[in-house]
A and B are shown apart, each in its own frame.
Chain A
Amino acid sequence: MYLTQSKIFDLEKKANDIRISIIESLIEAKSGHTAGPLGMADVFTLFYFHILRHDSKNPSWPERDRLVLSNGHICPVLYATMAHAGYFGVEELKTLRKFGTRLQGHPHREYLPYVETSSGPLGLGLGQAVGMALADRMDNGANIERYIYCFLGDGELDEGANWEAVMLAGKNKLRNLIAIVDRNNIQIEGYTEDVMPLESLADKWRAFNWHVIEVSGHDFQALNEAVEQAQAIYEKPTVIIAHTIPGKGVKEFERDYRWHGNPPGSGPEDKIKKAEQGAVVLAELRTLGGQIVSEHQ
């Protein structure tokens, strides 16, 4: 479905609200991942507010699309997006990672049944998405209009299990399966090409009989068109390699792998002192990097 300029503007505002919620929940939790959630906020926003067939008031609606989050450590963005989409109250985000919470440090369906799969240990989401796509096609035929989406990190593609799933999906021509790789070029210990080179990533997927689309993970129009193209591809699964900026929205965090696994308040101090990280980041997001100036200032 085409995105109008006003809809894109709404999505951009929503994504910023979600980034603020991510940061607020991480500050409260005092642990968790920052760079990945901020980088994927635009992709999550587009999916939950435009692409996905879902109903937050009836989460187990059988006809819903399925979204499998494989790299579970970026769950602050999943939780924040679900809260803004109405699955639960935004206030609950402040329980992230605390004892008794539904918002476990990595998603667990037993606590939060709205997530399609529990995840955290890397490399297991795509295989489950392949199973879902196979089962759905078994029941409803190849022309089914329901899609199984799987979000993966790029660093997690080091896990061999992913390539077992990639191979099986290619063999079975699962057109109802669409993978989105968060190509942010970082993982815990550094840049992906230093830790374990992934390039040429698109060629790797093509070699396994997938259709490949490369797109900016921050351009709503282009992302939306990529998903529409993926849905139109027949006889192949599609992977959308979404090039994202880790830490997107906070210039001091952007492209810095040291923010992979630290929350504001515990990150590197060369740009902002730990004690000030939370306040500075929230101010930056609330003013969209200084673009919005209150008339009271």
Chain B
Amino acid sequence: MLNPQLKLNTKIFNEDVEQVPIRKGFGLGLVIAGEADKNVVALCADLTESTQMHLFKEKFPERFVQVGVAEQNLATVSSGMAAMGKISFMSSYAMFSPGRNWEPIRTSICYNDRPVKIIGSHAGISVGPDGGTHQAIEDIAITRVIPNLDVISPCDALEAKRATIQIAKTKTPTYLRLAREKTPIITTEETPFKIGKSEIYWMPDMGLAQVGIIATGALLYRAIMVAKELASENNGEGIKIKVMNLATIKPIDIEAIITLAKECRAIVTVEEHQIAGGMGSAVAEVLAQNCPTPVEFIGVHDSFGQSGTQDELTEHYGMGKESIKEAVRKVLKRKV
């Protein structure tokens, strides 16, 4: 069942569940953050509407900087503004920022430890028809290795809004990973969000879970669907699963991951990213050091993306519901 304490969207299992692009939540959150703090500024590399930063630009034109198609400069200028007391939000597609401008982010933002918020929109393969060049599936790996940098990957538009408002209040360099396509709304305005804290979104009606699924970003929805469907197998005597929303990938919620692993003794990680270096790798680092546990990884297997619809690509690259179910069954067999 959905964790009742988190006030999640009870309509999530309806056919007509509301769907909103995650980036929209960022756009709305940035306006709220801008209203709360006049030092919040926004910079964009010629993708203002696409990254939903236009909402802020329309409301606070004097606090918006258009840098043109120049992602290295996007990073350094954002850092310079932060040096003068601003909270800089810089947006582009994840492929270009933090993709193109990784080293300027490392040196001018993170090495200087300045409050710059890197907004990477259109992350994952769900960008769809644009094809592999625009599908950032390496961005978690390249950001989570940089000291001082927080990495956050919201599961829906409402969580993206809350995350945006909260990261505007921290002095920490932060990467916020957003997806382009419409995504089912899982949370509500009342659902809690705290940087660095994971939450269990789905749990068995009774008793301990047999498998823990740890998901981040939009695929959390599919993970919850899988948990519900597997639980209802065998006349309701199916596999008992807990699903964790690991929205903050760094700093990672070590304690909660260990607790989940100790209960389930089998973990499946789910992310729209390369398996190498991604969220699953971060979870495996925690488990290997603290609580060795069999893990199955759902993600892209060392390949580039291609054109297609979101659903087609999710299935093709092994991140659909059937793939997740298969991973759950496989990890159950590996339990010791």
Contacts and interface: CB of A to CB of B under 8 A. Distances in A.
Interface of A: 66, 68, 108-110, 116-121, 123-136, 138-139, 160-161, 164-165, 167-168
Contact of B83 (A108, A121, A128): A128
B85 interface: yes
A269 to B, nearest CB: 35
A161 B104 contact: yes
B80 A134 contact: yes
A106 to B, nearest CB: 10
A138 B63 contact: yes
Given A127-B72, A135-B41, A160-B72, A168 B108 contact: no
B63 A168 contact: no
A131 B85 contact: no
A135 B80 contact: yes
B112 A161 contact: no
B111 A164 contact: no
A151 to B, nearest CB: 15
A68 B63 CA distance: 23
A62 to B, nearest CB: 9
A165 B76 contact: yes
Contacts of B78: 131
B65 interface: yes
Contact of B112 (A118, A129, A134): A118
Contact of A168 (B68, B86, B107, B112): B68
B208 interface: no
B81 A135 contact: yes
Contacts of A123: 72
11 contacts: A124-B108, A125-B76, A126-B76, A128-B77, A131-B84, A132-B83, A134-B65, A134-B80, A135-B41, A161-B76, A168-B67
Nearest to B111: A118
A132 B108 CA distance: 13
Nearest to A126: B76
B103 interface: yes
A128 B62 contact: no
Most chain B beta-carbon neighbours within 10 Å: one of A108, A126, A165, A167: A165
B34 to A, nearest CB: 13
Interface of B: 41, 62-63, 65, 67-68, 70, 72-73, 75-86, 88, 103-104, 107-108, 111-113
Contacts of A139: 84-85
Contacts of A66: 83
B79 A110 contact: no
A109 B79 CA distance: 13
B70 A168 contact: yes
Given A138-B63, A168-B70, A127 B113 contact: no
Most chain B beta-carbon neighbours within 10 Å: one of A118, A126, A136: A118
Contacts of B62: 138
B286 to A, nearest CB: 26
B77 A134 contact: yes
B80 A131 contact: yes
Contacts of B113: 109-110
Contacts of A125: 76
B77 A131 contact: yes
B83 A127 contact: no
Contacts of A126: 76
Contacts of B86: 135, 138
Given A164-B67, A165-B73, A168-B73, A131 B107 contact: no
Contacts of B88: 131
Nearest to B79: A128
A87 to B, nearest CB: 18
A132 B80 CA distance: 5
A250 B112 CA distance: 35
A134 B103 CA distance: 22
A167 B70 contact: yes
Given A121-B107, A127-B104, A135-B86, A167 B68 contact: yes
A164 B67 CA distance: 8
Contact of A127 (B63, B76, B85): B76
A165 B65 CA distance: 13
A136 B76 CA distance: 16
Contact of B73 (A120, A132, A138, A161): A161
A-B residue pairs, 8 tightest by C-beta: A131-B80, A127-B76, A164-B73, A128-B80, A135-B84, A164-B70, A131-B77, A161-B72
